[in-house]
Structure 1
Amino acid sequence: MIKYPILEGNFTIGVTAPSSGLTETMYGYIHDIKKRFSNHEINIAPTTLMQHKAKSTEADVRASELNAFFKDHTTNIIIPPFGGELALEIINKIDYRQLRTKWLLGYSDISTILLAITLKTGIATAHGPNLVDLRGVYSDSTTDMWTKVLKTKTDGEVIQCSSEKYQSKWDHNNPTECVFNLDSPTEWKVVNEDEVQIEGRLLGGCTDVIHHLIGTPFGDVNKFRETFINNDAVIWYLENCEANSTEFRRTLLQMQLAGWFDNCSGLLFGRTRVVDDVEGYTIDDVYKDLAEELKMPVIYDIDCGHMPPQMTFINDAYAIVECKNGNGKLTQRFI
């Protein structure tokens, strides 16, 4: 059975760094975050302010903090500061049998943990902004939907629409009042189609990291289908952070050969910062090859991932995804 957490009232936020923490130059973010969430209690665990050799600290400590927040009945949602590189180190140290049904929100390297928890337990997890993305005076309308999405009750429905503009390049030294510099028109695109509508259960994350779950006990998509979603069709939402076109292609082929795209109704891809080709082979060519091979809709440049803003996608939710004339609509039902 799928388990959907819910936020209510003045929720309490647990902050821990299961991947990377804040360096000293970023400690000012904590002041901004506390100011932004002044109506909420925020419990900041020690790893949040730690960073050494590509991770906040050792894996046992990171896993222990995450487990503690999941077991703590006073914490309503867990939001890491941001992603990083080595979340995979704690995957086998999470106490999956003892996790309370509460939200874990994040993206990038955090999506490794999100997907593993959902596949192992059937607890819905939230792919959306990390905590540092929420430190502004306000959030843009797309990012700001995270609270409405996470307050949706079981059997409820929530709708998000594509953004008007996205950020084409990070400028960390010049954040706006909503953190991001939204400078380019958003356009959702469909391979070989003008418009499309697809339905299915959402699963996904950053392909750079989640494909490492393949072949492990924490990436058993077939068992998840049988155990929790009665073999419903799946919609994969994916985003590529750093891989060039051929690396990206190999990663997606690995997912395909592992059966992750079996009984799949469509693929969604977030905007990517990768623009260079490999001997003429581009990221757009990857999308076209997938659509041709899998005979299913492929929508790309959606609001997901490292080129904000991004929608909040719920692993487990039943989704209806519509794309027409460059505009996107995501309906999620918590059923």
Structure 2
Amino acid sequence: MTSPVCAALDANSSLSASAIVADAVTGSHLLHVEGYSRTRGVPNGMFIRSRPFKVGGCSWCISYYPNGARPNHADFISVFLALDETVAQPMKVHAKFSLLNQVSRQGPSHTRTTALLEYSDRTSGYGYDLIKREFLEKSEYLKDDSIKIKCDVIISKEIHTEDRTAAPPFVVVPSSDMHIHFSNLLATEDGADVKFKVDGETFRAHRYILAVRSPVFKAELLGAMRESTAATGDCIQIDDMVVEVFKSLLHFIYNDSLPEMEGQEEALMAQHLLEAADRYDMQRLKLICEDKLCNHLEVSTVATTLALAEQHNCQGLKEACIEFLISPDALEAVMATDGFEHLTKSCPSLVKELMSELGTRLYKRRKLRA
């Protein structure tokens, strides 16, 4: 079963294509044997060579044995494909020999095909006993004391991969634009049915959207707490939160993303939003804020961030702070800050845990290096 994440990636990805190519170079040569009966005087094991012909940029020829290539096959006609030169790299080749029907032009040919063989220099080649002479001389392959032998040469090239231009799909499905519609809904306030007052400023929103995004909002707007909010005209007072943080919280609820911010502004907003995410039980937002704070750890802020991680049970962020402090130089610099002094007064147990953990980790690292 495809996961929702993979399905989303597939929907947003462009179509590409490639090919595994097993190319071959082909060519044919038609050998006429005229005066067939007179060629029977050639001894067993001896051959008559055709004129050279080119296939795949190399010179080839056919060796025709009127009385077979081997002593125990003297009653056969044998044909071999031979390379008429030496090549730098061995070639893998199939040879197909066909004795053509000369009376019924649409009639069947008598065919033999070699296995895939390797050619590298001029030799007697590889081939087959094509047909018994007794059978040949009573067949339609012999006409006016002549026969025709067609040789198809198939040279296999190196198997390789290539890029391909994918055929455009009949239907192009665009990326999801749900967040745009929800963002517009927040901006226009169409259908808004709940009001919030934050630091003197009023915000209108949609109770069902808030409820599906936050268990706390769900209890407050749809659960047992609803009667108390209705009594105040559905205007909910939000204390201990500044306007910009509440705006960012609503932006995340409707867009599933944070507004664009940079540097210290992003780090400060992440701190405040982490508290808001914990307050409204929004775990994804909480993890996003943790991740951003992990990327903004500095000597001047790490003590404050560590206290925040402890207060809101952010284990990943706490680990990042401890890892930042494990350097003796960093620890000494942090201990000189006002943030660390405040940490020792407000969370003495955390400082004790920190020192114990740093000592344990430093000991383990020194032991590994020894």
TM over 0.5: no
TM-score calculated relative to the size of structure 2:
0.21
Query: Which protein is bigger by CA-based radius of gyration?
Result: 2
More helix by share: 2
Higher relative contact order, structure no. (Cα contacts within 8 Å, ≥ 6 residues apart): 1
